[in-house]
Amino acid sequence: MNQVRVGVIGVGGRSSIVEYWHQPGGRSIVTGAADISLEALSNFRETVNPDAFVTTDYHELLSREDIDAVVILSPDYLHEEQAIAAFRAGKHVYCDKPLAITPEGCDRILDEWKQSGKHLMIGFNMRYMSMYQTMKEIIDSRVIGDIKAVWVRHFVGLGGYYYYHDWHGTRANTTSLLLQKASHDIDVIHWITGKYTRKVSAFGSLDYYGGDMPNDLYCPECERQKTCPDVSLDRLTQCAFREEIDVEDNNMVIMELEGGIKASYLQCHFTPDYSRNYTFIGTKGRIENDDVNDKIHVKTRKSGSWHEMSDITYEMKKMPGTHSGADPRICEDFINLVLDNKQPLASPFDGRMSVVVGCAATESIRAGGKVVQIDQGKHRPATEHQEKLPI
């Protein structure tokens, strides 16, 4: 095989990434799509491939012989069912994060993946952003010494627009936004430090969204739309202050990683701005990103070497493609995985671990902040330097 024939499950908002796989003269081509929305399927044909097979039943997509690999971009609560079905149909799988909405769901997917003999890749596109690849390379150079602390602040401007006007706002669909939204951040912490989380404690609550509005109320039909602080009229959106919303919008998580590294993660969905601020503190200095101004700042302390003589500011270059150039690169890596067995930046186990930590933090929040130990399960790859955790 020298070209991967790709089928897509879920061609809604996130499906803009699909254009990078549709390269008819190259190493991949998009030949089919499944979605419950006829409008979405029509738009897919208009913008991606007018000759593609489309269906409202993803099982029909999986049964086709002209599909080698499946890209799962559907809502989170469907990932487990669809990934397992894809492996049983003999397809390679690219699954958007989070891998599933429970640790058990992740383990069932990994079981099927290992039995299938096919490839599985997780959509951790932040690993492919130049900002975080640069931070990792700087840290790996040891200019700031051994990492001892990590601070992450995530200001989710437009949090209502992204998460509380639709299916994301209920626990049944997401478990928590510490999976859907924080899965990226938890993964970046694991990736850049090279360590997984051992235990967490967290506090959070629903401080702004939710309320007493009817569950069947949609913004375009609401009489309060001119005065509502969180109205969204450009699509058919549910009220962000409806009764059924039960997912926290303000979270603070404390983590202890392998090697004793301490990390904190703060996530708020009603901030006026959007930003991810990462700070890594080591024994010789610290590094901090400014994603608003596309800069990385390295500060050094006394170390007895030339590093203590200056601080460094890195100016990030503009990269082509969506998500700061990450999307075309992660799409290319999936094709390289299928055709060349070239391993991507994140493993399936990394996808599991971000979910496990998010679920543990959610458990802690809903139990009043108790410390929750992280179960690494049976799927962690054995490595020479793997830390032995206490039983």
pLDDT of residue 158 exceeding 90, the answer is no
Mean pLDDT, to the nearest integer, of 215-235? Answer: 89
Among 372, 381, 362, 377, smallest CA distance to 176 is for 362
In the structure, what pLDDT confidence band is assigned to residue 383 with cuts at 50, 70 and 90? low
Q: Contact 147/278 with Cβ under 8 angstroms?
A: no
Which domains, ranges and CATH numbers included, belong to the chain?
4-124 (3.40.50.720), 127-319+348-373 (3.30.360.10)
Mean pLDDT, to the nearest integer, of 104-125? Answer: 97
pLDDT tens for residues 40-86?
999 999 999 999 999 999 999 999 999 999 999 999 999 999 999 99
Give residue 1's pLDDT: 80
Find where tokens 């894809």 sit.
Answer: 86
How large a percentage of the chain has pLDDT more than 90?
87
DSSP states of 119-161: -EEEE-GGGGSHHHHHHHHHHHTTTT-SEEEEEEEEE-TTHII
Among 334, 353, 356, 355, smallest CA distance to 345 is for 334
pLDDT of residue 390 exceeding 50, the answer is no
Rg (CA), the chain: 21
pLDDT of residue 295 exceeding 50, the answer is yes
Q: Residue-wise over 329-365: b if at least 16 C-beta within 10 A, else e?
A: bbbbbbbbbbbeeeebbbbbbbbbbbbbbbbbbbebb
Give residue 250's pLDDT: 97
Q: Are strands 28-34 and 4-9 parallel, antiparallel or unpaired?
A: parallel
In the structure, what pLDDT confidence band is assigned to residue 308 with cuts at 50, 70 and 90? confident
pLDDT of residue 385 exceeding 50, the answer is no
Give residue 235's pLDDT: 67
Q: Contact 266/152 with Cβ under 8 angstroms?
A: yes
Mean pLDDT, to the nearest integer, of 351-374? Answer: 97
β-bridge mates for residue 285, sequence order = 300
**Is the full-model pTM beyond 0.85?**
yes
- What is the rounded CA–CA span in Å between residue 196 and residue 354? 9
Among 59, 57, 9, smallest CA distance to 30 is for 9
Q: What SS3 class is residue 239?
A: coil
Average pLDDT score, the chain? 94
Q: Are strands 250-257 and 197-205 parallel, antiparallel or unpaired?
A: antiparallel
pLDDT of residue 179 exceeding 80, the answer is yes
pLDDT of residue 268 exceeding 90, the answer is yes
pLDDT of residue 12 exceeding 90, the answer is no
How large a percentage of the chain has pLDDT more than 70?
97
Q: Amino acid identity, residue 60?
A: E
Q: Of the given ranges (13-27, 130-144, 186-200), which has the lowest mean pLDDT?
A: 13-27
In the structure, what pLDDT confidence band is assigned to residue 233 with cuts at 50, 70 and 90? confident
Give residue 193's pLDDT: 97
Give residue 335's pLDDT: 98
